[in-house]
Chains A and B, each alone.
Chain A
C-alpha cells in the first residue's frame, strides 16, 4: 500500500512537471504519453526484436564471462601465491572502463554482434572473477589446515569444501554481472549502429518521438529490475541450505 502510494506520488510529480512545461516535452514527455506508447509497442515486432537483440548480446557475453571468470577466480582464490601475483594486474584491469575500448573494437572487429558480446564479456568477467576469488579465499584457515593434515585429495577438497563455501559469493558476482551485461549491451547499441534497445532509443529520439524513447528506457529498466529480482530469488533457492546472511 505504502509502496504503491509512493509510486503514484512520483508519477503525479512527473505529470505535474511535464504539464507545467518547466522542461520541454522533447526532454521529458508526460507519463500518459510515455505509457500510452506501450500498447502500440507491444504489438510491434520491432520492439520485440530490439529487446531480443539486446538480451542476446547480454546473455551470450554473460555466460562467456561466467565460464571464464568462475573457474579462474576459484583457482586463484585457492592458492595464495596465484592471488598475490595477479592482484596488481587484476586491480588495474578491473578499473579500466571497458566502454572506452569501443573505438578500438570497432576498428578491429567492426560493428558486429560479436563485438557487442566481447565488450559485454570484458565488462562482466571481473565482477564474476573477483567474487569467485573472494569466495574461495573465505575458507577459514582452520578448515584449510585440517584438510592439509588429513591429506584430503585435491579434487575432493575442491568439490566438498571450496565450492560450497564459495557459492554465496559466486552468486553475488553472477548477479552483479547479470545487471552489468544488460547495461553494457545497451551502451554499445547507443554508440554504434547495432540493433537493440539502445539503438531504438537513439532512433526514436532523433525522429522526435521522445515518448517512444522513454518507453524503451522504461523497458530497459524493467529488464534490469526483473533480472535483479529473479537472481535474488534464484540465489535464495540455491542457498537454502545455509542460514541467510542477511535478513532485510
Chain B
C-alpha cells in the first residue's frame, strides 16, 4: 500500500468515482426540467432536504430515529454477545439450542411490529425493543459460531494451563470471536435501520419513518423523496461508521498477512452470508 505513488492513487480514485459521478450527473440532468408530479427535479429534493433540516422538524425526527437504533443495537449487542459466549462455550447448550435459534432467526421480526406496537404503545420503548429483538439473532448466532470456530488447539492449551476462566474469556475467547461478532453487528445494523423505518411507519408521532409516511400520504412528493434520501444517507453513514470502528478495534486482525487470515475470513464470510 505504502509503495503506491500518488499517481496510482489518483488513478484508482478516478476508476472508482467516474460511474457514481456519472450517475448523479445523469440523475440531475434527467430530472432538471421535470414537470412530473412523482419525480421532482433532484435539485428540488436536495433543497427541500436542506430546508427541512434547517427549519423543519427533521432534525428532531432524525435524532429520535438515531437514538432508537443506537439503543436497540446496543441492547442486542450486550445480550447477544453475552449469551453467545455462554452458548458457544458450552457444547451441550449449543447443540440443544441450535434448531430453536434457527427458527427464531427465520421468524420475521416485522411481523411482530403490529403485535408489539398495538399492545405496548407508540412511544420509543416498544421501538427499541423491536430493534433489539431483530438485531439480536445475527449477533447471537455469529458470536456462537465465532466462539465455536476458535481452533481447538488454542482452547485445549488454555484449558491445559488452567488459565482462569475470566482471563480465558477476555484474552482468548472474546478476541478470537471478535471478527465474527463484528460481521454479525454489521448485518444487525441493516436490520435495525429497516425495523426503525417499519416501526415508525406503523405507528409513531415522530421519526424519519413517520416523516416519509406523513409527507407521502399528503402528496408532498419532494418531502417524501427528501426523507427517503436522508434515510439512505443514514444507512450508509452508519455502516461506514461501523466499519471504521471495526478497523480500529480489529487492526491487529486486518493487518495480519492474508494467508494467516484466510481460514478465519472464510468462516466469517460464510456466517455473514448465512444471516
Contacts and interface: CB of A to CB of B under 8 A. Distances in A.
B16 A228 contact: no
A24 B119 contact: yes
Interface in A77-91: 81, 84-89, 91
Contacts of B216: 103-104, 106-107
A183 interface: yes
Contacts of A89: 19-20, 23
Contacts of B267: 246
B110 A183 contact: yes
Interface stretch (A38-46, A63-71, A195-203): A195-203
B188 to A, nearest CB: 13
Contacts of A97: 190, 193-194, 197, 231-232, 235
A31 interface: no
B50 interface: no
A179 B106 contact: yes
A104 B106 contact: no
Nearest to A7: B100
Interface in B198-234: 198, 201-202, 208-209, 212-213, 215-217, 219, 221, 224-225, 227-228, 231-232
Contacts of B116: 27
Contacts of A246: 267, 270
A191 B110 CA distance: 10
Contacts of A81: 15
B97 A27 contact: no
A121 to B, nearest CB: 16
Interface core residue of A179, A221, A245 (most chain B CB under 10 Å): A221
B225 A104 contact: yes
B12 to A, nearest CB: 7
Contact of B108 (A24, A106, A187): A187
A92 B194 contact: no
Contacts of A210: 115, 119
A27 B115 contact: yes
A167 interface: no
A88 B273 contact: no
B120 interface: yes
Nearest to A26: B119
A213 B115 contact: yes
Nearest to A102: B201
A218 B202 CA distance: 21
A49 B183 CA distance: 38
Interface core residue of B17, B96, B193 (most chain A CB under 10 Å): B96
Nearest to B112: A217
A13 B267 CA distance: 34
Interface string B90-107: 001001111110111111
Nearest to B231: A100
A220 B16 contact: no
Nearest to A101: B228
Contact of A198 (B20, B99, B105, B111): B111
A3 interface: yes
B99 A88 contact: no
B102 A92 contact: no
A24 B115 CA distance: 12
A152 to B, nearest CB: 26
B118 interface: yes
A96 B111 contact: no
Given A97-B232, A99-B194, A201 B224 contact: no
B273 A187 contact: no
B151 to A, nearest CB: 14
The 8 closest A-B pairs by CB, nearest first: A103-B216, A221-B107, A224-B106, A6-B96, A187-B110, A225-B106, A27-B119, A100-B231
Given A3-B99, A100-B197, A100-B208, 7 more contacts: A97-B232, A103-B216, A103-B217, A104-B216, A107-B219, A190-B111, A224-B108
